[in-house]
Protein backbone atom coordinates (compact mmCIF):
# COMPACT_ATOMS: atom_id res chain seq x y z
CA UNK A 1 0.00 0.00 0.00
CA UNK A 2 1.38 3.38 -0.99
CA UNK A 3 0.88 5.95 1.74
CA UNK A 4 -0.53 9.30 0.66
CA UNK A 5 2.41 11.21 2.17
CA UNK A 6 4.84 8.98 0.26
CA UNK A 7 3.02 9.52 -3.05
CA UNK A 8 2.90 13.29 -2.48
CA UNK A 9 6.57 13.58 -1.55
CA UNK A 10 7.57 11.47 -4.52
CA UNK A 11 5.44 13.52 -6.89
CA UNK A 12 7.02 16.72 -5.63
CA UNK A 13 10.51 15.25 -6.02
CA UNK A 14 9.74 14.19 -9.57
CA UNK A 15 8.23 17.54 -10.52
CA UNK A 16 10.65 19.96 -8.86
CA UNK A 17 13.86 17.96 -8.27
CA UNK A 18 13.94 19.54 -4.81
CA UNK A 19 13.51 17.54 -1.63
CA UNK A 20 14.46 18.40 1.93
CA UNK A 21 16.78 16.22 3.99
CA UNK A 22 13.75 14.86 5.88
CA UNK A 23 11.90 14.07 2.65
CA UNK A 24 14.88 12.20 1.19
CA UNK A 25 15.11 10.23 4.42
CA UNK A 26 11.39 9.49 4.26
CA UNK A 27 11.59 8.13 0.71
CA UNK A 28 14.75 6.15 1.40
CA UNK A 29 13.46 4.50 4.55
CA UNK A 30 10.43 2.82 3.02
CA UNK A 31 10.31 -0.96 3.26
CA UNK A 32 7.06 -1.30 1.34
CA UNK A 33 7.60 -3.07 -2.02
CA UNK A 34 4.98 -0.99 -3.81
CA UNK A 35 6.41 2.29 -2.54
CA UNK A 36 9.89 1.25 -3.58
CA UNK A 37 8.62 0.32 -7.05
CA UNK A 38 6.88 3.70 -7.32
CA UNK A 39 10.14 5.45 -6.47
CA UNK A 40 12.11 3.50 -9.08
CA UNK A 41 9.39 4.11 -11.70
CA UNK A 42 9.46 7.87 -11.01
CA UNK A 43 13.25 7.88 -11.54
CA UNK A 44 12.74 5.97 -14.79
CA UNK A 45 10.36 8.67 -16.03
CA UNK A 46 12.80 11.44 -15.08
CA UNK A 47 15.59 9.60 -16.94
CA UNK A 48 13.34 9.25 -19.99
CA UNK A 49 12.45 12.94 -19.90
CA UNK A 50 15.96 14.33 -19.51
CA UNK A 51 18.06 11.72 -21.24
CA UNK A 52 15.81 9.51 -23.36
CA UNK A 53 16.32 5.83 -24.18
CA UNK A 54 20.04 6.05 -25.02
CA UNK A 55 22.46 4.06 -22.91
CA UNK A 56 26.07 5.11 -23.35
CA UNK A 57 28.77 2.48 -23.14
CA UNK A 58 32.19 3.00 -21.58
CA UNK A 59 35.11 0.62 -22.09
CA UNK A 60 36.98 0.09 -18.82
CA UNK A 61 40.63 -0.97 -18.86
CA UNK A 62 41.91 -1.97 -15.41
CA UNK A 63 45.57 -1.53 -16.12
CA UNK A 64 47.20 -2.15 -12.71
CA UNK A 65 46.06 -3.83 -9.51
CA UNK A 66 48.95 -2.56 -7.39
CA UNK A 67 47.72 -0.26 -4.64
CA UNK A 68 49.45 1.66 -1.88
CA UNK A 69 46.20 2.12 0.09
CA UNK A 70 44.58 -0.21 2.56
CA UNK A 71 40.85 0.45 2.17
CA UNK A 72 39.02 -1.99 4.42
CA UNK A 73 36.48 -2.92 1.75
CA UNK A 74 38.72 -3.52 -1.25
CA UNK A 75 40.46 -6.66 -2.44
CA UNK A 76 43.27 -4.64 -4.03
CA UNK A 77 44.33 -3.21 -0.64
CA UNK A 78 48.04 -3.51 -0.04
CA UNK A 79 47.38 -5.78 2.97
CA UNK A 80 46.00 -8.47 0.66
CA UNK A 81 49.23 -10.34 0.15
CA UNK A 82 47.61 -13.35 -1.52
CA UNK A 83 46.62 -11.38 -4.60
CA UNK A 84 48.80 -11.78 -7.69
CA UNK A 85 49.72 -8.28 -8.87
CA UNK A 86 50.05 -7.12 -12.48
CA UNK A 87 50.73 -4.02 -14.50
CA UNK A 88 49.83 -3.67 -18.15
CA UNK A 89 52.46 -2.07 -20.37
CA UNK A 90 51.73 1.11 -22.27
CA UNK A 91 51.64 -0.95 -25.48
CA UNK A 92 49.04 -3.35 -24.01
CA UNK A 93 46.86 -0.50 -22.72
CA UNK A 94 47.04 1.24 -26.08
CA UNK A 95 46.22 -1.93 -28.03
CA UNK A 96 43.28 -2.65 -25.74
CA UNK A 97 41.97 0.89 -26.26
CA UNK A 98 42.32 0.54 -30.04
CA UNK A 99 40.29 -2.70 -29.89
CA UNK A 100 37.55 -0.93 -27.92
CA UNK A 101 37.50 1.88 -30.48
CA UNK A 102 37.24 -0.63 -33.34
CA UNK A 103 34.20 -2.15 -31.64
CA UNK A 104 32.52 1.25 -31.53
CA UNK A 105 33.33 2.44 -28.00
CA UNK A 106 34.02 6.17 -27.85
CA UNK A 107 35.14 6.44 -24.23
CA UNK A 108 37.91 4.52 -22.52
CA UNK A 109 38.11 4.54 -18.72
CA UNK A 110 41.63 3.85 -17.46
CA UNK A 111 41.38 2.52 -13.92
CA UNK A 112 43.92 1.20 -11.42
CA UNK A 113 44.81 0.95 -7.76
CA UNK A 114 46.79 3.90 -6.43
CA UNK A 115 50.02 2.84 -8.06
CA UNK A 116 52.94 5.32 -7.90
CA UNK A 117 54.73 3.32 -10.61
CA UNK A 118 52.51 5.25 -13.00
CA UNK A 119 54.18 8.60 -12.54
CA UNK A 120 52.79 11.85 -13.84
CA UNK A 121 54.91 11.45 -16.99
CA UNK A 122 53.93 7.82 -17.64
CA UNK A 123 50.22 8.64 -17.49
CA UNK A 124 50.79 11.74 -19.63
CA UNK A 125 52.51 9.62 -22.30
CA UNK A 126 49.70 7.11 -22.14
CA UNK A 127 47.00 9.75 -22.59
CA UNK A 128 48.85 11.31 -25.53
CA UNK A 129 49.34 7.94 -27.24
CA UNK A 130 45.69 6.90 -26.85
CA UNK A 131 44.45 10.30 -28.05
CA UNK A 132 46.77 10.24 -31.04
CA UNK A 133 45.87 6.68 -32.08
CA UNK A 134 42.15 6.58 -31.25
CA UNK A 135 40.80 10.10 -30.60
CA UNK A 136 38.70 8.50 -27.87
CA UNK A 137 37.36 10.38 -24.89
CA UNK A 138 39.74 9.49 -22.04
CA UNK A 139 38.48 9.05 -18.49
CA UNK A 140 40.95 8.40 -15.68
CA UNK A 141 40.26 6.69 -12.38
CA UNK A 142 43.58 6.33 -10.61
CA UNK A 143 42.82 7.82 -7.20
CA UNK A 144 44.04 10.82 -5.23
CA UNK A 145 46.94 12.64 -6.85
CA UNK A 146 48.43 16.13 -6.69
CA UNK A 147 46.84 19.09 -8.47
CA UNK A 148 50.00 19.23 -10.62
CA UNK A 149 49.48 15.64 -11.80
CA UNK A 150 45.84 16.32 -12.63
CA UNK A 151 46.80 19.50 -14.46
CA UNK A 152 49.41 17.72 -16.59
CA UNK A 153 46.93 14.96 -17.46
CA UNK A 154 44.29 17.48 -18.46
CA UNK A 155 46.82 19.29 -20.66
CA UNK A 156 47.82 15.96 -22.24
CA UNK A 157 44.20 15.34 -23.31
CA UNK A 158 42.44 13.74 -20.33
CA UNK A 159 38.71 14.52 -20.54
CA UNK A 160 37.07 12.98 -17.50
CA UNK A 161 38.01 11.78 -14.03
CA UNK A 162 36.20 9.37 -11.75
CA UNK A 163 36.87 9.62 -8.03
CA UNK A 164 34.13 8.34 -5.76
CA UNK A 165 34.00 10.05 -2.37
CA UNK A 166 32.66 6.67 -1.13
CA UNK A 167 30.88 8.07 1.93
CA UNK A 168 30.05 11.60 3.03
CA UNK A 169 30.65 10.68 6.67
CA UNK A 170 34.16 11.87 7.62
CA UNK A 171 34.29 9.31 10.44
CA UNK A 172 33.23 6.35 8.34
CA UNK A 173 35.56 7.51 5.54
CA UNK A 174 38.51 7.63 7.92
CA UNK A 175 37.65 4.22 9.36
CA UNK A 176 37.25 2.65 5.91
CA UNK A 177 40.30 4.28 4.35
CA UNK A 178 43.05 4.31 7.00
CA UNK A 179 45.38 7.27 6.65
CA UNK A 180 43.01 9.15 4.32
CA UNK A 181 40.71 12.08 4.92
CA UNK A 182 37.43 12.97 3.26
CA UNK A 183 38.53 16.63 3.00
CA UNK A 184 41.54 15.65 0.89
CA UNK A 185 39.37 13.62 -1.46
CA UNK A 186 36.85 16.45 -1.81
CA UNK A 187 39.75 18.78 -2.49
CA UNK A 188 40.90 16.49 -5.31
CA UNK A 189 37.38 16.68 -6.76
CA UNK A 190 37.49 20.49 -6.62
CA UNK A 191 40.88 20.58 -8.33
CA UNK A 192 39.62 18.28 -11.07
CA UNK A 193 36.55 20.41 -11.65
CA UNK A 194 38.62 23.62 -11.74
CA UNK A 195 40.91 22.09 -14.36
CA UNK A 196 37.94 21.48 -16.64
CA UNK A 197 37.58 17.72 -16.30
CA UNK A 198 34.10 16.27 -16.45
CA UNK A 199 34.00 14.91 -12.93
CA UNK A 200 32.44 11.67 -11.78
CA UNK A 201 32.03 10.65 -8.17
CA UNK A 202 29.91 8.25 -6.18
CA UNK A 203 29.42 6.20 -3.06
CA UNK A 204 29.22 2.68 -1.67
CA UNK A 205 25.88 1.55 -0.23
CA UNK A 206 25.97 -0.86 2.69
CA UNK A 207 29.36 -0.23 4.26
CA UNK A 208 29.61 -1.65 7.75
CA UNK A 209 28.57 1.08 10.21
CA UNK A 210 26.87 3.24 7.56
CA UNK A 211 23.46 4.67 8.52
CA UNK A 212 20.50 5.80 6.45
CA UNK A 213 21.36 9.37 7.46
CA UNK A 214 24.84 8.89 5.95
CA UNK A 215 23.20 7.87 2.67
CA UNK A 216 20.89 10.90 2.78
CA UNK A 217 23.99 13.07 3.20
CA UNK A 218 25.66 11.29 0.25
CA UNK A 219 22.67 12.19 -1.95
CA UNK A 220 22.73 15.81 -0.76
CA UNK A 221 26.42 16.00 -1.61
CA UNK A 222 25.76 14.54 -5.09
CA UNK A 223 23.25 17.29 -5.73
CA UNK A 224 25.38 20.05 -4.23
CA UNK A 225 28.43 19.24 -6.36
CA UNK A 226 26.38 18.57 -9.47
CA UNK A 227 28.79 15.85 -10.60
CA UNK A 228 28.75 14.91 -14.28
CA UNK A 229 28.56 11.24 -13.39
CA UNK A 230 27.55 9.54 -10.15
CA UNK A 231 28.33 5.88 -9.52
CA UNK A 232 26.14 4.35 -6.82
CA UNK A 233 27.33 0.84 -6.02
CA UNK A 234 26.51 -1.70 -3.33
CA UNK A 235 29.22 -2.95 -0.98
CA UNK A 236 30.30 -6.45 -1.95
CA UNK A 237 32.13 -8.39 0.71
CA UNK A 238 35.59 -9.68 -0.19
CA UNK A 239 36.86 -12.56 1.99
CA UNK A 240 40.48 -11.38 1.92
CA UNK A 241 39.68 -8.04 3.58
CA UNK A 242 38.83 -6.96 7.14
CA UNK A 243 35.18 -6.68 5.99
CA UNK A 244 35.17 -10.29 4.78
CA UNK A 245 32.37 -11.28 7.15
CA UNK A 246 30.22 -8.15 6.64
CA UNK A 247 27.04 -8.68 4.63
CA UNK A 248 26.72 -7.34 1.09
CA UNK A 249 24.81 -4.11 0.53
CA UNK A 250 21.12 -4.40 -0.33
CA UNK A 251 20.03 -4.22 -3.97
CA UNK A 252 16.78 -2.43 -3.10
CA UNK A 253 18.50 0.23 -1.03
CA UNK A 254 21.10 0.77 -3.77
CA UNK A 255 18.32 1.17 -6.34
CA UNK A 256 16.52 3.65 -4.10
CA UNK A 257 19.68 5.76 -3.61
CA UNK A 258 20.15 5.68 -7.38
CA UNK A 259 16.51 6.61 -7.99
CA UNK A 260 16.49 9.58 -5.60
CA UNK A 261 19.77 10.73 -7.13
CA UNK A 262 18.08 10.68 -10.54
CA UNK A 263 15.11 12.69 -9.24
CA UNK A 264 17.38 15.34 -7.76
CA UNK A 265 20.06 15.61 -10.44
CA UNK A 266 17.80 15.10 -13.47
CA UNK A 267 20.32 14.84 -16.28
CA UNK A 268 23.56 13.59 -14.81
CA UNK A 269 25.06 10.32 -15.98
CA UNK A 270 24.25 7.39 -13.69
CA UNK A 271 25.83 4.03 -14.49
CA UNK A 272 24.31 0.65 -13.78
CA UNK A 273 27.50 -0.07 -11.85
CA UNK A 274 29.45 -3.30 -12.17
CA UNK A 275 28.86 -3.91 -8.46
CA UNK A 276 25.05 -3.80 -8.91
CA UNK A 277 25.35 -6.25 -11.78
CA UNK A 278 27.49 -8.61 -9.72
CA UNK A 279 25.32 -8.37 -6.61
CA UNK A 280 22.25 -9.62 -8.44
CA UNK A 281 21.70 -11.18 -11.87
CA UNK A 282 18.79 -8.77 -12.39
CA UNK A 283 20.73 -5.81 -11.04
CA UNK A 284 21.63 -4.35 -14.43
CA UNK A 285 18.09 -4.36 -15.73
CA UNK A 286 16.74 -3.08 -12.42
CA UNK A 287 19.24 -0.19 -12.31
CA UNK A 288 18.47 0.80 -15.91
CA UNK A 289 14.80 0.90 -14.88
CA UNK A 290 15.52 3.03 -11.79
CA UNK A 291 17.35 5.96 -13.34
CA UNK A 292 20.60 4.58 -14.79
CA UNK A 293 21.74 5.44 -18.33
CA UNK A 294 25.34 4.22 -18.59
CA UNK A 295 26.94 0.78 -18.86
CA UNK A 296 30.56 0.17 -17.96
CA UNK A 297 31.97 -2.61 -20.11
CA UNK A 298 35.01 -4.45 -18.80
CA UNK A 299 37.67 -4.41 -21.50
CA UNK A 300 40.56 -5.62 -19.37
CA UNK A 301 42.25 -8.54 -21.14
CA UNK A 302 40.98 -11.80 -19.55
CA UNK A 303 44.47 -12.80 -18.39
CA UNK A 304 44.50 -9.79 -16.07
CA UNK A 305 40.80 -9.37 -15.34
CA UNK A 306 40.67 -12.20 -12.79
CA UNK A 307 43.28 -10.37 -10.69
CA UNK A 308 41.48 -7.02 -10.62
CA UNK A 309 39.48 -8.39 -7.77
CA UNK A 310 38.14 -5.30 -6.02
CA UNK A 311 35.35 -7.66 -4.99
CA UNK A 312 34.73 -11.30 -5.91
CA UNK A 313 32.54 -12.39 -8.80
CA UNK A 314 33.86 -10.18 -11.60
CA UNK A 315 33.31 -12.30 -14.66
CA UNK A 316 36.14 -13.39 -16.92
CA UNK A 317 33.59 -14.04 -19.66
CA UNK A 318 33.67 -11.41 -22.40
CA UNK A 319 30.25 -10.09 -23.38
CA UNK A 320 29.92 -9.24 -27.07
CA UNK A 321 28.62 -5.85 -28.10
CA UNK A 322 25.80 -7.59 -29.98
CA UNK A 323 24.63 -9.18 -26.73
CA UNK A 324 24.48 -5.71 -25.16
CA UNK A 325 22.57 -4.35 -28.15
CA UNK A 326 20.05 -7.21 -27.99
CA UNK A 327 19.66 -6.82 -24.25
CA UNK A 328 19.03 -3.08 -24.55
CA UNK A 329 16.52 -3.58 -27.35
CA UNK A 330 14.68 -6.14 -25.22
CA UNK A 331 14.14 -3.50 -22.52
CA UNK A 332 13.19 -0.72 -24.95
CA UNK A 333 16.54 1.07 -24.87
CA UNK A 334 19.37 1.56 -27.34
CA UNK A 335 23.08 2.24 -27.48
CA UNK A 336 23.77 5.98 -27.35
CA UNK A 337 25.38 7.78 -30.27
CA UNK A 338 28.01 10.49 -29.81
CA UNK A 339 30.53 10.59 -26.99
CA UNK A 340 27.88 10.80 -24.29
CA UNK A 341 29.26 13.78 -22.42
CA UNK A 342 27.21 15.70 -19.89
CA UNK A 343 27.80 18.87 -21.90
CA UNK A 344 26.36 17.23 -25.00
CA UNK A 345 23.27 16.35 -23.00
CA UNK A 346 22.89 19.87 -21.68
CA UNK A 347 23.33 21.35 -25.13
CA UNK A 348 20.67 19.06 -26.56
CA UNK A 349 18.41 20.91 -24.12
CA UNK A 350 16.12 17.95 -23.67
CA UNK A 351 13.24 18.72 -21.38
CA UNK A 352 13.53 22.44 -21.93
CA UNK A 353 15.68 23.46 -18.98
CA UNK A 354 19.45 23.84 -19.03
CA UNK A 355 21.29 23.40 -15.78
CA UNK A 356 24.54 25.25 -15.28
CA UNK A 357 27.76 23.55 -14.28
CA UNK A 358 28.34 24.47 -10.67
CA UNK A 359 31.65 24.94 -9.02
CA UNK A 360 31.74 23.01 -5.76
N1 LIG B 1 41.93 3.19 -6.70
C2 LIG B 1 40.98 4.06 -7.28
C3 LIG B 1 40.16 3.41 -8.37
C4 LIG B 1 39.94 1.92 -8.25
S5 LIG B 1 38.84 1.42 -7.02
C6 LIG B 1 40.07 4.63 -6.20
O7 LIG B 1 39.99 4.06 -5.13
O8 LIG B 1 39.46 5.66 -6.48
C9 LIG B 1 37.28 1.75 -7.79
C10 LIG B 1 36.09 1.70 -6.88
O11 LIG B 1 35.86 0.38 -6.43
C12 LIG B 1 36.18 2.48 -5.61
O13 LIG B 1 35.85 3.83 -5.81
C14 LIG B 1 35.18 1.78 -4.69
O15 LIG B 1 33.97 2.50 -4.61
C16 LIG B 1 34.92 0.46 -5.38
N17 LIG B 1 35.08 -0.68 -4.46
C18 LIG B 1 36.21 -1.14 -3.92
N19 LIG B 1 35.95 -2.21 -3.14
C20 LIG B 1 34.61 -2.40 -3.17
C21 LIG B 1 33.73 -3.36 -2.56
N22 LIG B 1 34.18 -4.32 -1.77
N23 LIG B 1 32.41 -3.26 -2.83
C24 LIG B 1 31.95 -2.29 -3.65
N25 LIG B 1 32.73 -1.38 -4.24
C26 LIG B 1 34.06 -1.43 -4.01
FE1 LIG C 1 43.24 0.96 -3.61
FE2 LIG C 1 41.07 2.11 -4.72
FE3 LIG C 1 40.97 -0.36 -3.61
FE4 LIG C 1 41.28 1.74 -2.01
S5 LIG C 1 39.47 1.31 -3.34
S6 LIG C 1 42.45 -0.20 -1.89
S7 LIG C 1 42.55 3.09 -3.28
S8 LIG C 1 42.10 0.25 -5.40
H or E stretch covering 141: strand 137-141
> Ligand 1, from 58, 64, 114, 204: best to mutate by most atoms within 8 Å of Cβ?
204
pLDDT (average), residues 109-127:
98
DSSP 244-264: TTSPPPPHHHHHHHHHHHHHH
pLDDT band, residue 276 (cuts 50/70/90): very high
pLDDT band, residue 340 (cuts 50/70/90): confident
Distance CA 320, CA 280 (A): 20
Which residue's alpha carbon is nearest to atom 2 within ligand 2?
A: 113
Supply the pLDDT for residue 351: 44
pLDDT band, residue 359 (cuts 50/70/90): very low
347 pLDDT higher than 90: no
CA 274 – ligand 2 centroid, Å = 16
CA 310 – ligand 1 centroid, Å = 6
Query: Residue 144: nearest ligand to its CA?
Result: 1
pLDDT (average), residues 243-248:
98
> Ligand 1, from 60, 61, 66, 74: best to mutate by most atoms within 8 Å of Cβ?
74
Which ligand 1 atom lies nearest to the CA of residue 234?
24
CA 112 – ligand 1 centroid, Å = 10
Which residue's alpha carbon is nearest to atom 5 within ligand 2?
A: 74
State pLDDT tens for residues 146-156: 999 999 999 99
H or E stretch covering 49: helix 33-50
CA 114 – ligand 2 centroid, Å = 7
Which residue's alpha carbon is nearest to atom 8 within ligand 2?
A: 113
130 pLDDT higher than 50: yes
pLDDT (average), residues 95-113:
96
Left (φ > 0), alpha (ψ -120 to 50) or beta: where does 315 sit? beta
Supply the pLDDT for residue 316: 62
CB 65 within 8 A of CB 118: no
> Ligand 2, from 69, 111, 142, 177: best to mutate by most atoms within 8 Å of Cβ?
69
Supply the pLDDT for residue 312: 94
Q: Which residues line ligand 2 (CB under 6 A)?
A: 67, 69, 71, 74, 76-77, 113-114, 143, 310
Which residue's alpha carbon is nearest to atom 19 within ligand 1?
A: 74
State pLDDT tens for residues 219-243: 999 999 999 999 999 999 999 999 9
pLDDT (average), residues 181-195:
98
pLDDT band, residue 318 (cuts 50/70/90): low
Query: Residue 313: nearest ligand to its CA?
Result: 1
pLDDT (average), residues 344-360:
52
Q: Which residues line ligand 1 (CB under 6 A)?
A: 73-74, 111, 113-114, 141, 143, 163-164, 166, 204, 233, 235-236, 238, 275, 310-311
* Rg over CA atoms, the chain: 19
DSSP 278-341: HH-TTHHHHHHTTT--EEEEE-S-HHHHTT--SSTT---SPPPHHHHHHHHHHTT-EEPPS---
Supply the pLDDT for residue 352: 40
pLDDT (average), residues 101-118:
96
State pLDDT tens for residues 37-51: 999 999 999 999 999
CA 88 – ligand 2 centroid, Å = 17
CA 314: distance to chain centroid?
16
pLDDT (average), residues 130-137:
97
Which ligand 1 atom lies nearest to the CA of residue 204?
15
Mean pLDDT (the chain, rounded): 94
Query: Residue 176: nearest ligand to its CA?
Result: 2
203 pLDDT higher than 90: yes
pLDDT band, residue 345 (cuts 50/70/90): low
Q: Where are the alpha helices (DSSP H) in 60-166?
A: 90-102, 120-134, 147-156
Q: Using a pLDDT cut of 90, give the percent of the chain over it.
A: 90
CA 227 – ligand 1 centroid, Å = 18
Count other C-beta atoms under 10 Å from residue 282's C-beta: 12
CA 9 – ligand 2 centroid, Å = 37
pLDDT band, residue 350 (cuts 50/70/90): low
DSSP 171-223: HHHHHHSTT--HHHHHHHHHHHHHTT-EEEEEEEES-TT--HHHHHHHHHHHH
Q: Cβ neighbours of residue 118 under 8 Å, at least 6 residues apart? A: 64, 112, 126, 142
Distance CA 291, CA 259 (A): 5
Q: At what angle do helices 212-225 and 251-265 cross, to 10 degrees?
A: 30
- Using alpha carbons, select from 8, 49, 10, 24 the residue that is nearest to residue 224: 24
Amino acid sequence: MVRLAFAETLMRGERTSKLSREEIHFLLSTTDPEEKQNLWDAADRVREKWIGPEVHLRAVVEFSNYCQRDCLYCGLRKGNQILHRYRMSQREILETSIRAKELGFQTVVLQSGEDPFYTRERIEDLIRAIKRETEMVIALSVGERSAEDYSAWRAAGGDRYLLKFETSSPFLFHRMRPGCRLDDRMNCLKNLRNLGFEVGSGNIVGLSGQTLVDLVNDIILFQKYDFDMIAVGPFISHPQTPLGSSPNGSLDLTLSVLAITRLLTQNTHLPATTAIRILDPNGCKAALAAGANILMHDFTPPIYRRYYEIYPGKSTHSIEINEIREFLTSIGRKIGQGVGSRKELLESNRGGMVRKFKNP
